[in-house]
């Protein structure tokens, strides 16, 4: 989600600024053996191992052919030719860039993959949307399993009416949670990072610190189409990860990769009046599979695995699941190394029922405001529904009249859980709780659907079969219906881009909890403050719900959703559709990957309620309320909710 009420998300991140050519280490006998078994490594050592594999033309052709084929399914490809305002920063000719990547000379396999990664990350389709963020992008596990970290997360806080960038005041508590292998390194080199906690930052890398945050938002933080949302992901923030309160380090202090060796900060420490310049050294956190040397690094982290490429679900050994659930979420590599929110900043209020999963709910001391912190739309599909019912039931029993939904750093998840929450809060009388959507009508997609029909398949086997969807009157389509024949003509930026017929989701078929007819709280009176891509867009477009965003750069606009798609397909999923539909031998089908990686794209467009010719992703929606974080709220959810309730519900 984007933005979200709070703020934003982030995601993946990538390279920092600087050039990656500069950091080559001296040749070692086996640069991977040198870092084997360590979780925290010097960036130059990490990069030396990553650069130990020479450029391989066979792998380039494999990767680029795969990516080119997958982009045929990316619903926003043609929009990128000329992204409409205010999203102009995300303008790129995808095919021309692929051709350039095919011509460029690269010294190492790393250099090639990093260039592709940067290119797809900067498409900024962090898709956020509906309940989800989607991200398209190329994720070579070999090289995205490294994350640079410094013990000085950065935040933008308001103090005496002025917003400035600070080293997070809780930098010590936060960094200690990363562990002594991390902090011990700084102690061992005599670098006193603890005294920097809370320091006011005047410059970063010799620039205005907000300019540097902008730079990182432009070049590092992918995932969100809106620049303002990406600026937020440069900063540290609270979130829910692994069903627990957590703190995200932010893209300036925790970029993916091992490119930067240090971050130069000009700052004024707490209790000082004198500005000084420090270079905070990065350490690289290795997040991948264990290895002992160069050969095992490649075998365990870089070579394709059994789960890299898709499966023909018609195969005899496969027993189909009851129903496949569409997802739309972002990839945040840093999630795998997530640390908790320092305990002292967790809510002190007793949680209400239904707070053991991705949702944490509370009743504020005013006794009238219920808070649901929806950390993601993923996790346990049925458990999420039970938790919503349990929380709302307890809210009603306690006489709660105002509902605050916090979507800070919500990375998306199941499309249908976003629709469930929307419908539960809005009541079933609103009818269909989702968006009208389409897939692209490219020739291979048409062959997949025709293949599925010829094999007599249904939604247990494929996302492409029609029984996954409903006609616009909400009657489920029969599995044998071909919604890609004929395709519907559509033109984007002068390019013909035919789509499928328009359809609805069929989420209600998978709900285990029934939805009340009437809303449990009065949405139209602004009793519900929420945000977050699809969910927040629906709440905004259909219910005029109050939406507030925290953070961003002062004076710069921020969308409350980063970007919205409607469903992401991972490469494994798309390849399974192709194989199950019986068209893997078609010349248009992307080849199986030879390396361990994922190329994911937004596969369905969601169309705006107000303008059915525009994808919701390209409809600019600014929040009605915008607040700065303070030192009391940036890492303290309960303080933030109390503040938000006082502003929104008074
Ligand atoms: C390039 O990669 C392919 C596929 O992994 C491999 O078969 C080939 O040996 C590699 N070429 C070189 C020169 O290493
Ligand atoms: C890259 O360029 C070469 C030479 O023009 C061409 O044969 C090859 O098909 C191109 N690869 C891809 C993936 O487009
Ligand atoms: C700053 O000064 C105050 C008051 O003397 C003291 O309580 C606090 O610990 C000092 N903080 C740091 C980081 O030195
Ligand atoms: C919370 O859940 C428990 C166990 O299901 C139930 O007994 C209790 O009544 C619930 N409390 C409220 C206030 O709804
Ligand atoms: C819904 O629309 C489809 C396609 O137009 C039609 O075949 C079907 O009969 C309609 N169902 C109802 C209940 O109106």
Express each pLDDT in 462-509 by its tens digit.
Answer: 999 999 999 999 999 999 999 999 999 999 999 999 999 999 999 999
In angstroms, what is the span from residue 277 Cα to ligand 3's centroid?
A: 20
pLDDT at 69: 97
* Residue whose CA lies nearest to ligand 1 atom number 11: 56
SS3 of 436-467: EEECECCHHHHHHHHHHHHCCCCCCCCCCCHH
With beta carbons less than 8 A apart as the criterion, state whether 114 and 15 touch: yes
Ligand 5 site, residue 502, Cβ cutoff 6 A: no
Which pLDDT tens digit goes with each residue over 533-567? Answer: 455 566 555 555 656 677 666 766 655 444 455 78
* 59, HSE (Cβ side, Cα atoms, 13 Å): 20
Q: Ligand 5 in contact with 471 (CB < 6 A)?
A: yes
| pLDDT value of residue 106 | 98
Q: If you measure from the C-alpha of residue 486 to the centroid of ligand 5, how many angstroms do you get, rounded to a whole number?
A: 18
Ligand 2 atom 3: the closest Cα is on which residue? 102
Rounded distance from Cα 399 to ligand 4 centre (Å): 15
271 C-beta closer than 6 A to ligand 3 = yes
So what's the pLDDT on residue 99? 97
**CB contact at 8 A, 137 and 280:** no
Which protein residue's CA is at the shortest distance from atom 13 of ligand 4? 394
Residue 202: which residues within 8 A CB-CB, separation 6 or more? 209, 266, 267, 268, 275
56 lines ligand 1 (CB under 6 A): yes
pLDDT at 259: 93
Q: What is the CATH number of domain 347-427+519-563+624-648?
A: 3.90.226.10
The mean of the pLDDT values for the chain is 84
- Expressed in angstroms and rounded, the spacing between residue 144 Cα and the centre of ligand 2 is 26
- CB burial of residue 194 (10 Å; 0-12, 13-18, 19+): middle
Token pair recorded at residue 54? 């020479």
Distance 637 CA to ligand 3 centre (A): 25
Ligand 4 and 356: CB distance under 6 A: no
Q: Is 277's C-beta closer than 6 angstroms to any atom of ligand 2?
A: no
**57, 58, 304: residue to mutate for ligand 1 pocket, most atoms within 8 A of CB:** 58
Distance CA 648, CA 625 (A): 8
593 lines ligand 1 (CB under 6 A): no
- In 160-299, DSSP assigns E strands to 162-167, 200-204, 237-241, 244-248, 262-268, 276-281, 283-286
Q: Is 65 in the pocket of ligand 4 (CB under 6 A)?
A: no
Ligand 5 centroid – CA 434 distance (Å): 19
Identify the segments of the chain with pLDDT beneath 70.
Answer: 1-28, 86-90, 122-136, 218-231, 316-323, 328-337, 522-548, 551-553, 555-565, 620-623
pLDDT at 406: 84
Residue 268 CB–ligand 3 contact under 6 Å? no
For residue 270 and ligand 3, the question of a CB distance below 6 A is answered with yes
Task: Tell the burial category of 353 from Cβ atoms under 10 Å away from its Cβ (0-12, 13-18, 19+).
Answer: middle
Please give the number of the atom of ligand 2 that sits closest to the Cα of 64.
Answer: 13
Provide the 8-state DSSP code for 288.
S
How far apart CA 234 and CA 154 sit, in angstroms, is 8
In which region does residue 238 sit, left (phi positive, over 0), alpha (psi from -120 to 50) or beta (all else)? beta
- pLDDT digit string, tens, across residues 265-297: 999 999 999 999 999 999 999 999 999 999 999
Closest ligand to the CA of 483: 5
pLDDT of residue 315: 83
Q: Which pLDDT does position 18 carry in this prediction?
A: 29
pLDDT at 337: 60
Instruction: Calculate what percentage of the chain has a pLDDT beyond 70.
Output: 80
Read off φ and ψ for residue 467, nearest 5 degrees. -70, -5
Domains of the chain by residue range? 148-286, 347-427+519-563+624-648
Q: Is 361 in the pocket of ligand 4 (CB under 6 A)?
A: no
Provide the pLDDT for residue 557. Answer: 60
Tell me what pLDDT residue 2 has: 31
| Ligand 1 geometric centre to CA of 112 (Å) | 15
Positive or negative torsion for Cα 552, 556, 559, 564:
negative
Closest ligand by atom to 400 CA: 4
**Ligand 1 centroid distance, CA of 511 (Å):** 48
Ligand 4 atom closest to Cα of residue 393: 14
- Ligand 4 center to residue 353 CA distance, Å? 6
Alpha carbon 609 to its chain's center:
24
């Amino acid at each position: 989600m984007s933005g979200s009420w709070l703020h934003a998300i982030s995601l993946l991140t990538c390279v920092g600024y600087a050039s990656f050519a500069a950091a080559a280490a001296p040749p070692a006998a086996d640069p991977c053996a040198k870092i084997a078994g360590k979780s925290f490594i010097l960036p130059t050592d990490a990069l030396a191992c990553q650069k130990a594999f020479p450029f391989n033309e066979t792998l380039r052709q494999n990767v680029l052919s795969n990516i080119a084929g997958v982009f045929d399914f990316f619903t926003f490809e043609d929009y990128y030719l000329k992204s409409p305002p205010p999203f102009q920063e995300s303008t790129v000719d995808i095919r021309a860039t692929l051709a350039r990547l095919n011509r460029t000379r690269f010294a190492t396999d790393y250099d090639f993959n990093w260039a592709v990664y940067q290119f797809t990350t900067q498409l900024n389709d962090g898709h956020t949307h509906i309940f989800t963020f989607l991200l398209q992008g190329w994720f070579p596990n070999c090289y995205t399993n490294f994350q640079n970290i410094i013990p000085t997360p950065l935040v933008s806080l308001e103090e005496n009416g002025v917003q400035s960038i600070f080293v997070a005041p809780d930098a010590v508590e936060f960094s200690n949670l990363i562990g002594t292998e991390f902090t011990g390194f700084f102690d061992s080199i005599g670098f006193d990072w603890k005294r920097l906690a809370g320091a006011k930052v005047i410059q970063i890398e010799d620039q205005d610190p907000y300019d540097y945050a902008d730079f990182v938002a432009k070049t590092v933080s992918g995932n969100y189409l809106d620049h303002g949302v990406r600026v937020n992901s440069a900063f540290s923030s609270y979130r829910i990860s692994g069903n627990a309160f957590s703190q995200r380090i932010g893209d300036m202090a925790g970029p993916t990769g091992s490119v930067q060796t240090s971050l130069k900060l000009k700052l004024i420490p707490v209790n000082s009046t004198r500005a000084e310049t420090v270079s905070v050294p990065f350490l690289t956190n290795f997040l991948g599979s264990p290895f002992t040397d160069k050969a095992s690094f490649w075998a365990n982290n870089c070579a394709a695995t059994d789960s890299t490429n898709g499966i023909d679900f018609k195969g005899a050994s496969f027993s189909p699941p009851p129903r496949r659930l569409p997802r739309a979420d972002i990839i945040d590599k840093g999630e795998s190394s997530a640390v908790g929110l320092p305990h002292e900043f967790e809510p002190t209020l007793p949680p209400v029922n239904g707070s053991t999963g991705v949702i944490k709910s509370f009743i504020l001391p005013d006794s009238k405001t219920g808070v649901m912190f929806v950390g993601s739309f993923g996790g346990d599909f049925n458990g999420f529904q039970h938790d919503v019912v349990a929380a709302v039931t307890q809210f009603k029993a306690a006489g709660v009249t105002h509902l605050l939904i916090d979507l800070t750093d919500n990375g998306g998840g199941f499309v249908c859980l976003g629709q469930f929450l929307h419908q539960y809060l809005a009541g079933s009388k609103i009818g269909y709780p989702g968006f009208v959507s389409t897939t692209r009508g490219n020739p291979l997609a048409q062959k997949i659907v025709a293949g599925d029909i010829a094999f007599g398949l249904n939604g247990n086997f494929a996302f492409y079969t029609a029984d996954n969807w409903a006609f616009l009157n909400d009657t489920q389509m029969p599995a044998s219906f071909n919604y890609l024949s004929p395709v519907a003509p559509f033109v984007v930026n002068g390019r013909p881009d035919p789509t499928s017929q328009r359809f609805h989701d069929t989420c209600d078929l998978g709900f285990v909890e029934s939805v009340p007819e009437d809303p449990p709280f009065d949405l139209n009176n602004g009793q519900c403050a929420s945000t977050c891509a699809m969910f927040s867009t629906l709440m905004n477009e259909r219910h005029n719900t109050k939406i507030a965003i925290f953070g961003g750069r002062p004076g710069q606009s921020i969308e409350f959703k980063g970007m919205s798609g409607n469903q992401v397909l991972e490469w494994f999923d798309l390849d399974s559709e192709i194989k199950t539909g019986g068209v893997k031998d078609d010349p248009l089908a992307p080849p199986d990957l030879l390396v361990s990686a994922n190329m994911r794209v937004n596969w369905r467009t969601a169309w705006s309620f107000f303008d059915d010719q525009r994808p919701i992703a390209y409809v600019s929606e600014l929040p009605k309320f915008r607040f700065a974080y303070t030192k009391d709220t940036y890492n303290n959810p309960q303080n933030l909710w109390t503040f938000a309730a006082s502003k929104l519900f008074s």
